[in-house]
């Protein structure tokens, strides 16, 4: 048994590792730049200094703060065309543009040269003597800066054409920037003519060392340092704990209720197979099982929480109206009142599922020999049901336990969204929508852990109620 648990923990670790890789790569594939998101607030303000150079300084600082200036992973399989240190270009947009340009031309030296010329001309254009015609200058500069984020040949050529037209408009401007412009367009031309796309067919493995984003995050995770939310800078665990309490409350009530109601229901229906009761409950449970939760929840909110249709039975939203310092009893009652509908919506699908499983389990067991023997021996009916039938029919129910915890988490997404409950589900949806990756990582890792624990509990329970189950066999 001990070795079994050890093995399970090993698997848990393996799962966490894989899930962490999945979560991490999702966050890297996803569009959008967290750094930019965090500093975007600044664009609402009017100020002389909020120019491009200043922006880039703040960008670099923020990226460093978040550790996003490090390489992504331990190693990288790439082509010979890419340089080892592209990650040092901190601005994600520039990095992306350069990477695409390398993709086109395969000649990093030429691309790098082009990028340097681009920056050089940008600096020049920002600091020109007053004799230069400003219409020409501003036109040229805005097109030039577009080059930082544009990499399609057509888009680039269009910009070059417009820049040239602007430059030719004013002789003073031509005098100032004709050479660097010439160098820039030559650099671009060189990038195209001296393209070495063949380099893309040669593999290269870059070793980044252990100071990389994934390593830093995962090791921090293992020592319980879960990072900070991108949205409001709160520690992720704080956010999670705040949310977890509500999810735990509604789910534990719902699961408890579901088991309490469904087991007797299932056993009774199973024992009295084909009775009217059985038929009615079977159909009833089937309908419950198929009713989409989000539909029912929506209907309940629509019909039972506003006086609109005359049946204003429940408070409409959230978990409580009372302040935290209200008397404990009042607060508990108020919370209970708020949770009736959400708990109902979480309970009924689980109830239907478990009761149906239970009935099926009982039906299977009834036909087994030892039950027949027991009854033939004259053991009382009730006793047979509860002592023999019940325990033996429990197996499928235990299997369910393994899936109950993660299912509860997923179910909460629906319920919390509709009933406006600030639990894990809402947190998850919000985090995914807002690309708050530290929170998303944590939710995915947590749900994986919960599932694994669920499986462990189910297996241990199996062993507890049936000594015949041997762990060695089970694992094999």
Partner 1 sequence: MIKLSHLLSLLALLFVVAGCGNDAPTEENTTEATPKYSTENTVYARLPAEPDRINPLITTNTYSRAVYENIFLYLLDFDHQTFELTPQLAKARPEINEITSGPFAGGVAYTYEIHDEAVWDNGTPITGEDVAFTLKILFNPKVNAGPARSYLDFIRDIEIDATNPKRFTISTAQKYIIGEAAISNVPIYPAYIYDANGLLNDISLVDLTDPAKQASLETTYPQLQEFANIFNSDEFARNKGKVMGAGPYTLESWETGQQIILNRKKDWWGDQLTATNELMAARPDQVVYKIITDQTATVAALKDQLIDVTAQIDVKDFIDLQANELVTDNYNLYAPNALQLYYIGLNTKDPKLQDKRVRRAITHLVDVDQIIEELFYGLGERRIGPVAPSKPYFNEALKPIAFSVARAKALLEEAGWVDSNSNGVVDKEIDGEQVELEIDFLATSNGKFGNNLAQLLEVTFPQAGVKLNIDRVEFTVLYEQLKTRTFEMFAGAWAQDPTPDDFKQIWHTDSDNPNGTNRVGFGSAASDDLIDQIRVTLDEEERAGLYKSFQQMVYEEQPYIFLFAPKERLAIHKRFKADPSSLRPSFFPREFELKAD
Partner 2 sequence: MIQSAKSPSYWALVSKQFKKNRIALWSLRLVGVLLFIAVFADFIANDKPLYCQIEGKTHFPIAESYLVDLGLKKWDPVFLQGGDWHKLPYEKVRYTLIPYAPKNIDLKNNDYISPFGKQRVKSNWFWHRLGTDQLGHDVASRMVHGTRTAMLVGVVAMSIASFIGIFLGGLAGFFGDHRLKLSRARLVLSLLGLVIGYFFAFVSRKYALTEGNFGKELAISLLLFVLVVLVANGIGWLLERLPILQKQVPIPADLLVMRFIEILNSIPALLLLLAIVATIKKSSIFHVMVIIGLIRWTGIARFIRAELLRIRNMEYVEAARAIGLSEWRTLFRHAIPNALTPVLIAISFGIAGSILLEAFISFLGIAKPDASWGELLTHARTYPKAWWMALFPGFAIFITVTLFNLIGEGLTEALDPKRIQKS
Q: Pick from 69, 84, 112, 133: which binds partner 1 (CB under 8 A)?
A: 133
Q: Measured from the CB atom, is 51 or 466 closer to partner 1?
A: 51
Q: Pick from 12, 26, 36, 78: which binds partner 1 (CB under 8 A)?
A: 36
Radius of gyration of the chain, Cα coordinates, nearest whole angstrom = 32
| CB-count exposure of residue 57 (10 Å: 0-12, 13-18, 19+) | exposed
H or E element in which residue 205 lies = strand 203-207
For position 291 contacting partner 1 by CB under 8 A, the verdict is no
For position 437 contacting partner 1 by CB under 8 A, the verdict is no
Q: Which does 444 bind (CB under 5 to 8 A by kind): partner 2, partner 1, none?
A: partner 2
Instruction: Retrieve residue 360's tokens.
Output: 């099926």
For the CA atoms of 142, 65, 40, 59, what is the dihedral angle to 10 degrees? Answer: -10
Q: Which does 100 bind (CB under 5 to 8 A by kind): partner 1, partner 2, none?
A: partner 2
For position 224 contacting partner 1 by CB under 8 A, the verdict is no
Instruction: Retrieve residue 32's tokens.
Output: 């959008």
Note the residues at the interface with partner 2 (CB under 8 A).
11, 14-15, 18-19, 22-23, 26, 29-31, 77-79, 100, 103-104, 152, 200-201, 203, 286-287, 289-292, 294-295, 298-299, 301-302, 306, 308, 406-407, 409-410, 413-414, 417-418, 428-429, 432-433, 435, 440, 443-444, 447-448, 451-452, 455
To partner 2, the closest distance from the beta carbon of 158 in angstroms equals: 17
C-alpha separations of 344 from 263, 337, 349 in Å: 17, 12, 9
To partner 2, the closest distance from the beta carbon of 476 in angstroms equals: 9
| Distance of alpha carbon 403 from alpha carbon 397, whole angstroms | 10
Please say whether the beta carbons of 249 and 331 come within 8 A.
no
Q: Which residues pair with 204 in a beta bridge?
A: 78
Residue 305 DSSP one-character state: S
| Location of structure tokens 């040269």 | 113
Please say whether the beta carbons of 286 and 352 come within 8 A.
yes
Q: Measured from the CB atom, is 89 or 415 closer to partner 2?
A: 415
Q: Which does 243 bind (CB under 5 to 8 A by kind): partner 2, partner 1, none?
A: partner 1
For position 39 contacting partner 1 by CB under 8 A, the verdict is yes
Please say whether the beta carbons of 391 and 465 come within 8 A.
yes
The Cβ-side half-sphere exposure at 476, using a 13 Å CA radius, reads 5
Q: Which does 182 bind (CB under 5 to 8 A by kind): partner 1, partner 2, none?
A: none
Q: Measured from the CB atom, is 126 or 306 closer to partner 2?
A: 306
For position 237 contacting partner 1 by CB under 8 A, the verdict is no
To partner 1, the closest distance from the beta carbon of 314 in angstroms equals: 8
For position 327 contacting partner 1 by CB under 8 A, the verdict is yes
To partner 1, the closest distance from the beta carbon of 240 in angstroms equals: 10
| CB-count exposure of residue 195 (10 Å: 0-12, 13-18, 19+) | middle
To partner 2, the closest distance from the beta carbon of 138 in angstroms equals: 30
To partner 1, the closest distance from the beta carbon of 436 in angstroms equals: 11
Q: Which does 398 bind (CB under 5 to 8 A by kind): partner 1, partner 2, none?
A: none
| Distance of alpha carbon 66 from alpha carbon 435, whole angstroms | 14
To partner 1, the closest distance from the beta carbon of 280 in angstroms equals: 11
Q: Which residues pair with 316 in a beta bridge?
A: none
Q: Measured from the CB atom, is 186 or 237 closer to partner 1?
A: 237
> Where in 240-259 is the site for partner 1 (CB under 8 A)?
242-243
Q: Measured from the CB atom, is 25 or 50 closer to partner 1?
A: 50
For position 52 contacting partner 1 by CB under 8 A, the verdict is yes
Q: Which does 320 bind (CB under 5 to 8 A by kind): partner 1, partner 2, none?
A: partner 1
User: What's the gap between Cα 90 and its chain centre?
Assistant: 25
Closest CA to 299 of 290, 286, 289, 309: 309
Alpha helices by DSSP H, listed for 272-385, are 276-290, 293-304, 328-366, 369-376, 381-383
Q: Is 65 helix (H, G, I), strand (E, B) or coil?
A: helix
> Where in 268-287 is the site for partner 1 (CB under 8 A)?
268, 277
For position 168 contacting partner 1 by CB under 8 A, the verdict is no
The Cβ-side half-sphere exposure at 426, using a 13 Å CA radius, reads 17
Q: What binding mask, one character per residue, do residues 15-34 give for partner 1 by CB under 8 A, x or -?
A: ---------------xxx--
Q: Measured from the CB atom, is 4 or 417 closer to partner 2?
A: 417
Q: Which residues pair with 69 in a beta bridge?
A: none
For the CA atoms of 406, 408, 414, 417, what is the dihedral angle to 10 degrees? Answer: -100
> Where in 333-362 is the site for partner 1 (CB under 8 A)?
333-334, 336-337, 340
Q: Pick from 129, 130, 224, 324: which binds partner 1 (CB under 8 A)?
A: 324
To partner 1, the closest distance from the beta carbon of 405 in angstroms equals: 22
């Amino acid at each position: 048994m001990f070795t079994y648990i050890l093995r399970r923990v090993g698997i848990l670790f393996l799962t966490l590792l894989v899930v962490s890789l999945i979560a991490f790569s999702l966050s890297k594939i996803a569009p959008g730049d967290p750094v930019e998101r965090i500093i975007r607030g600044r664009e609402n303000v009017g100020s002389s200094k909020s120019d491009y150079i200043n922006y880039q300084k703040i960008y670099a600082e923020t990226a460093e703060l978040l550790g996003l200036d490090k390489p992504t992973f331990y190693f990288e399989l790439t082509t010979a065309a890419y340089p080892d240190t592209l990650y040092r270009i901190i601005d994600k947009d520039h990095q992306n543009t350069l990477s695409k340009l390398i993709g086109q031309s395969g000649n990093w030296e030429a691309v790098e040269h082009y990028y340097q010329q681009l920056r050089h001309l940008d600096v020049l254009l920002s600091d020109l003597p007053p004799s230069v015609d400003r219409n020409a200058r501003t036109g040229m500069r805005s097109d030039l800066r577009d080059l930082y984020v544009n990499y399609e040949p057509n888009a680039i050529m269009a910009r070059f054409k417009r820049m040239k037209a602007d430059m030719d408009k004013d002789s003073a401007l031509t005098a100032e920037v004709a050479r660097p412009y010439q160098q820039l367009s030559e650099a671009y031309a060189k990038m195209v003519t001296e393209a070495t796309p063949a380099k893309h067919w040669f593999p290269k493995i870059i070793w980044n060392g252990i100071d990389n984003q994934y390593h830093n995050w995962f090791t921090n995770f293992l020592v319980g340092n879960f990072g900070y939310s991108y949205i409001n800078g709160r520690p992720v665990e704080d956010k999670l704990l705040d949310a977890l309490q509500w999810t735990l409350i509604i789910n534990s009530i719902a699961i408890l209720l579901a088991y309490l109601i469904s087991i007797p229901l299932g056993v009774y229906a199973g024992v009295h197979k084909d009775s009217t009761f059985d038929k009615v409950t079977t159909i009833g449970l089937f309908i419950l099982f198929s009713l989409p939760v989000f539909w029912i929840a929506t209907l309940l909110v629509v019909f039972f929480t506003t006086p609109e249709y005359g049946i204003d039975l429940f408070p409409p939203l959230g978990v409580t109206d009372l302040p935290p310092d209200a008397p404990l009893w009042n607060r508990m009652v108020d919370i209970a009142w708020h949770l009736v509908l959400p708990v109902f919506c979480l309970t009924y699908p689980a109830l239907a599922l478990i009761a149906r499983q239970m009935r099926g389990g009982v039906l299977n067991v009834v036909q087994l020999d030892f039950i027949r023997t027991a009854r033939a021996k004259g053991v009382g009916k009730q006793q047979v049901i509860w002592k023999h039938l019940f325990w033996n029919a429990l197996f499928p129910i235990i299997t369910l336990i393994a899936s109950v915890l993660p299912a509860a988490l997923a179910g909460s997404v629906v319920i919390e969204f509709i009933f406006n409950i600030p639990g894990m589900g809402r947190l998850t949806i919000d985090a995914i929508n807002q690309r708050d990756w530290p929170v998303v990582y944590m939710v995915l890792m947590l749900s994986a852990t919960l599932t694994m624990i669920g499986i462990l509990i189910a297996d241990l329970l199996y062993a507890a109620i049936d000594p015949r189950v041997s762990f060695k066999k089970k694992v094999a």
